[in-house]
Structure formats: C-alpha cells, structure tokens
Amino acid sequence: MTTDKGQMWVAGLEYDGSGFRGWQAQQPGVRTVQEVLTAALSRVADHPLEAVCAGRTDAGVHALGQVVHFQSPAPRPPRAWLLGCNSALPDDVNLRWVEPVDDDFHARYSAHSRSYRYVFWNRPARTALGRQRACWVYHPLDAAAMHRAAQALIGEHDFSAYRAVACQSPTPMRFVEAISVQREGDLVVMDIRANAFLHHMVRNIAGVLMAVGKGDAEESWPADVLVGRDRTRGGVTAPAEGLYFHGVRYPDFPAIDRLSKPSHEPMLPGPAIPGQ
C-alpha cells in the first residue's frame, strides 16, 4: 500500500558487528549499522530516508536476521532496492531480501517475538577464524546442564537481575517463550526467543549459563539469580562477539513472517527451538 509518503518497504539484513559501534546512529565519525544502511538506501532512492529496525544491537553484536522498514516515493522494484543497496554497502553488512508491505507495518512494534543466538567456541585452543564470531571458552562446557538450568527462565518474569544497570526500559518484565542449549562439535549454542529483551539480557543469561556449564555454579543458580532480582548476583556479562540477532516473528504479516524467521547458516548450527 502506498501513501503520500510513498511505498512502505521491509527488508532483512545481516551484518558482522565487529566493525560497528552498534545499530543506532550516533555522532558523525562513529560507524554504525543504521548510518551505513540509511546512506545506501538514500542513494538508491535519490533522497534522504530513515530505516527503523526490529531490535537495536550493541557494539560488536552480529545479525543473521535483522529486519528494518523504510518508506519512499521513489518508483523502485524490490530487485533494484536489493541490488542497488548492496552495491553501496560495505562488505560487512548486506540486505538479504526486500519486499513491499502495507503501511501499517512497523519493524519493531509489529513484531510478536525476537530470537537471539549466543555461540561459545568451546575447545582448549583458541580459534583464529571464529575470534570475532564466538566467545572462546577453554574449560569444557556441559551443554546438557546449561540447557536444564535455562528452563527456569521460561515464562513471564521480572528480569531485573539479567539486565544492564543502564537499561532504560520502564519495566523489567519480559516473557521468554523458549530457550535451548546444544552442542555441535566445538560449538555450544544458546537459542532464546522472547517477546522482547532488556539491555544486555541475553549476554547476562549467557554469562550465568556459562558458569553452570563450567561447573562453577549449580544448575539451580540461574533460577536463584532470577528470583533475587539483583544484578550484582548475576555474574559476568558474556562478550558481544558471541551474540547474534537471529530472527523476528510477524504472524500478522504472513508473507514477511516467512522471510524473517531465524535462518540456518552453514557456519553455525541450525535453530534449536521448536517452532522457529
């Protein structure tokens, strides 16, 4: 559907967050995903425009299935947006698909849930190829224990103990739909799906589960931390390089929902949460 502002478009993108200071555009000279994406889209449109994402990511965090929307009166077919934008983007970010959508769509507010993936590279020797794509842990991790411990986080809870001190959300309440931990070779992968996430919530959960996996904490500890609602009891915040924005669900927009589900990437294990 078009309006006086033009056609509404939705796009899926992936990026290696290693070279970015996060999603959100900042002051001039600070490299962000939003900055380079809007510059590329504006070049194709031949006018300035804005891109709104499904979920902002921090510095160093990657994305396999980020979703954005933008609006433009420029008469461009989807292929022109996709190829034209990718030719103008740097190598560490690109669009995967672009589709027209009704103007009542919003990348953030139309989302019913979001999925994140956290990847541990678990072997005695460090990794050269995965050094900015996973969190290296040389102590053996018990993925089965991590998975069992994580199940206490499912449901609607006050996640005060799992959010950053600087988190600006007006409420700590979040509903975790599913969480799993599995091992595939040297990789231990945590997948989590929720209605929304607090600042550093996934990385703090990963840090707590890492302690369980190493045997430094009991399987009951993640639940104890949750009930305590005290961030100072929550252990370390896992590093950004292991975190991926994995996918978004839009059941009210079936065509977009099919495109924006978490993807299977050859480098990483496939979705572990049923129904993704």
pLDDT single digits (tens) 22-81: 999 888 889 999 999 999 999 999 999 999 999 999 999 999 999 999 999 999 999 999
pLDDT at 266: 44
Q: Which residues, including other chains, have CB under 8 Å from residue 28's CB and lie 6 or more apart?
A: none
Check if 58 is active-site.
Answer: yes
pLDDT at 29: 84
pLDDT at 231: 85
pLDDT at 5: 83
Q: Retrieve residue 50's tokens.
A: 């804005």
Domain ranges of the chain: 2-101, 113-260
- 109 assigned binding-site residue: no
Q: Tens digit of pLDDT per residue, the chain (276 long)? A: 445 689 999 999 999 999 999 999 888 889 999 999 999 999 999 999 999 999 999 999 999 999 999 999 999 999 999 999 999 999 999 999 999 999 999 999 999 999 999 999 999 999 888 888 999 999 999 999 999 999 999 999 999 999 988 888 999 999 999 999 999 999 999 999 999 999 999 999 999 999 999 999 999 999 999 998 888 887 899 999 999 999 999 999 999 999 988 765 544 544 444 444
pLDDT at 28: 84
pLDDT at 271: 44
Q: Enter the CATH code of domain 113-260.
A: 3.30.70.660
**SS (HEC) of the chain:** CEECCEEEEEEEEEECHHHCCCCCCCCCCCCCHHHHHHHHHHHHHCCCCCCEECCCCCCCCEEEEEEEEEEECCCCCHHHHHHHHHHHCCCCEEEEEEEEECCCCCCCCCCCEEEEEEEEEECCCCCCCCCCCCEEECCCCCHHHHHHHHHHHCEEEECHHHCCCCCCCCCCEEEEEEEEEEEECCEEEEEEEECCCCCCHHHHHHHHHHHHHHCCCCCCHHHHHHHHCCHHHCCCCCCHHHEEEEEEECCCCHHHHHHHCCCCCCCCCCCCCCCC
Asked if domains 2-101 and 113-260 share a fold, the reply is yes
pLDDT at 272: 45
Catalytic residue among 4, 16, 58, 252: 58
Q: Which residues, including other chains, have CB under 8 Å from residue 171's CB and lie 6 or more apart?
A: none
The architecture CATH gives domain 2-101: 2-Layer Sandwich (3.30)
Q: Retrieve residue 247's tokens.
A: 């996918």
